[in-house]
């Protein structure tokens, strides 16, 4: 509906008009029925789930029946029944779409503005506003210019539950926003905010040591797997490195291997060397219990990789003060570009252990 680029929920003129129970001309124009396409309506709510589940059941059911030794009439009948159900579901979604447009038009004509107090919450990987158990529809990208941790008076349309504007309450909403975002980022990244005071002194707390165990385990596996393969190769009766065990010398033993086995041996040696380095740096971080930090404007980045089979996968990062830290998708969604951050991480493995918002 609204143009998601830069919609201002805290526009003072809009708030003043909404306080008087009126919809502003800009809001009215943005909310005119037809501003949201049918596809956007389907994706915006539970209609997408209602549509996708029967489509997948229909597809797999048809494929399953075709794979069985059944008369052709059975898969054809199932396919036709699925088409009928799908058509009925699409008709129902179209009716809901038309009904929603009618509701919006009526609320705009009546200037049916309501208000309620609440906060922006980060739930299940997305920011949302809930009043009296009902989710308000946020039309700006993400949460727009709203902030978690700040108490707002929200102005919205009651039946369509579309958020119009938000008035920040309290004496220092910006400080509340900094604290609220810090808490959200700590939750989605599994950070310990109680450790911040120690981290500021360059120390890693006992509660944060668990975040360093994963690199240690990776290093142990990278060392242990090649070592196990070499042990079997040296001690087994049919081991591919039995020449070394029999005392024929390393070089002569390596020359006796065929090229395929030699490549495997070299790859295993490379993995073992990587494992030694990885394990050593991880253990040094663990034993030293030191933390360093970097500060600066934060940006979030998403990188897409493509495998040889054509499949793609994405990785998510925070970029703070020139340092890049990999995070999960939920943590990526919660991050705000352009704010000042201080990131605390281990000096060798660059493992992010804490993050605080500065402004």
Between 268 and 249, whose confidence is greater?
A: 268
In this structure, is the dihedral angle defined by the CA atoms of residues 80, 84, 90 and 93, taken in order, positive or negative?
negative
| Per-residue pLDDT, 200 | 93
344, 274: one domain: no
- What's the number of domains the chain is made of? 3
Answer with the one of 241, 256, 288 that is the final residue of a domain.
288
Q: What is the mean pLDDT of residues 190-207?
A: 91
| Per-residue pLDDT, 184 | 93
86, 193: one domain: no
- Is the confidence at residue 4, as pLDDT, over 50? no
Percent of the chain with pLDDT over 70: 74
What is the maximal distance between C-alpha atoms in the chain?
Answer: 94
33, 145: one domain: yes
188, 218: one domain: no
Q: Are the C-beta atoms of residues 9 and 146 closer than 8 Å to each other? A: yes
Long-range contacts of 247-253 (CB under 8 A, 24+ apart): none
- Is the confidence at residue 208, as pLDDT, over 60? yes
Between 199 and 266, whose confidence is greater?
A: 199
Report the alpha-carbon distance of residue 191 to residue 204 in Å, rounded: 12
In the structure encoding, which two tokens stand for residue 58, read together? 């229909």
Q: What is the mean pLDDT of residues 301-321?
A: 83
| Per-residue pLDDT, 3 | 45
219, 327: one domain: no
Between 201 and 248, whose confidence is greater?
A: 201
For residue 4, being part of any structural domain is answered with no
Q: Are the C-beta atoms of residues 352 and 189 closer than 8 Å to each other? A: yes
Confidence at 358, pLDDT banded by 50, 70, 90: very high
Taking the alpha carbons at both ends of the chain, their separation in whole angstroms is 31
User: Going by C-beta distance under 8 Å and a sequence separation of 6 or more, which residues neighbour residue 321?
Assistant: 294, 295, 296, 341, 343
For residue 195, being part of any structural domain is answered with yes
For residue 1, being part of any structural domain is answered with no
pLDDT digits (tens, 9 = 90+) for 85-112: 777 777 877 887 788 888 888 888 888 8
327 C-beta neighbours (distance < 10 Å), count: 20
Confidence at 344, pLDDT banded by 50, 70, 90: very high
User: Going by C-beta distance under 8 Å and a sequence separation of 6 or more, which residues neighbour residue 344?
Assistant: 196, 199, 291, 292, 293, 352, 353, 354, 355
Q: Are the C-beta atoms of residues 114 and 159 closer than 8 Å to each other? A: no
Range of the domain at 186: 178-204+290-357
For residue 7, being part of any structural domain is answered with no
| Per-residue pLDDT, 38 | 59
| DSSP per-residue string spanning 246-297 | TTS-HHHHHHTS-HHHHHHHHHHHHHHHHHHHHHHHHHHHHHH-B-EEEEEE
- Is the confidence at residue 342, as pLDDT, over 70? yes
188, 314: one domain: yes
Answer with the one of 264, 288, 312 that is the final residue of a domain.
288
pLDDT digits (tens, 9 = 90+) for 51-75: 566 666 666 666 665 656 656 666 6
Confidence at 214, pLDDT banded by 50, 70, 90: confident
| Per-residue pLDDT, 193 | 92
pLDDT digits (tens, 9 = 90+) for 19-45: 999 999 888 877 765 555 655 565 555
| Per-residue pLDDT, 187 | 92
Going along 147-202, which residue ranges are E strands? 152-157, 162-168
Mean pLDDT of the chain: 79
225, 123: one domain: no
Between 327 and 309, whose confidence is greater?
A: 327
Answer with the one of 288, 306, 336 that is the final residue of a domain.
288
> Residue 117 pairs with which residues in a beta bridge?
153
- Is the confidence at residue 207, as pLDDT, over 90? no
């Amino acid at each position: 509906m609204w143009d998601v680029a830069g919609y201002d929920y805290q526009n003072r003129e809009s708030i003043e008009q909404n306080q008087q129970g009126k919809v502003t001309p800009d809001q009215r124009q943005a909310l005119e029925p037809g501003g949201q396409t049918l596809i956007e309506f389907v994706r915006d709510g539970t209609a997408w789930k209602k549509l996708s589940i029967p489509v997948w059941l229909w597809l797999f059911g048809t494929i399953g029946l075709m794979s069985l030794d059944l008369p052709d009439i059975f898969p054809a009948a199932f396919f036709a029944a699925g088409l009928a159900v799908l058509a009925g579901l699409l008709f129902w979604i179209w009716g809901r779409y038309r009904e929603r447009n009618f509701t919006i038009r009526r609320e705009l004509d009546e200037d049916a503005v309501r208000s309620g107090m609440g906060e922006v919450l980060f739930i299940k990987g997305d920011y949302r506003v809930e009043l009296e158990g009902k989710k308000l529809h946020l039309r700006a990208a993400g949460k727009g210019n709203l902030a978690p941790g700040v108490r707002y008076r929200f102005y919205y349309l009651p039946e369509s539950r579309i958020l119009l504007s938000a008035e920040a309450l309290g004496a220092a909403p910006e400080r509340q926003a900094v604290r609220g975002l810090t808490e959200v980022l700590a939750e989605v990244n599994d950070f310990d905010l109680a450790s911040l005071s120690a981290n500021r002194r360059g120390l890693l707390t006992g509660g944060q040591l668990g975040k360093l165990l994963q690199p240690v385990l990776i290093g142990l596996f990278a060392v242990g797997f090649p070592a196990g393969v070499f042990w079997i190769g040296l001690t087994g009766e049919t081991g591919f490195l039995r020449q070394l065990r029999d005392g024929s010398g390393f070089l002569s033993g390596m020359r006796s291997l065929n090229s395929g086995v030699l490549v495997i041996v070299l790859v295993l040696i490379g993995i073992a060397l990587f494992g030694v380095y990885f394990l050593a740096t991880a253990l040094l971080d663990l034993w030293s219990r030191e933390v360093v930090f970097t500060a600066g404007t934060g940006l979030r980045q998403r990188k897409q990789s493509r495998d040889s089979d054509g499949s793609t996968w994405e990785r998510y990062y925070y970029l703070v003060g020139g340092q890049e830290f990999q995070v999960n998708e939920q943590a990526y969604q919660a991050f705000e570009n352009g704010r000042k951050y201080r990131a605390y991480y281990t000096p060798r493995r660059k493992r992010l252990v804490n993050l605080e918002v500065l402004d």
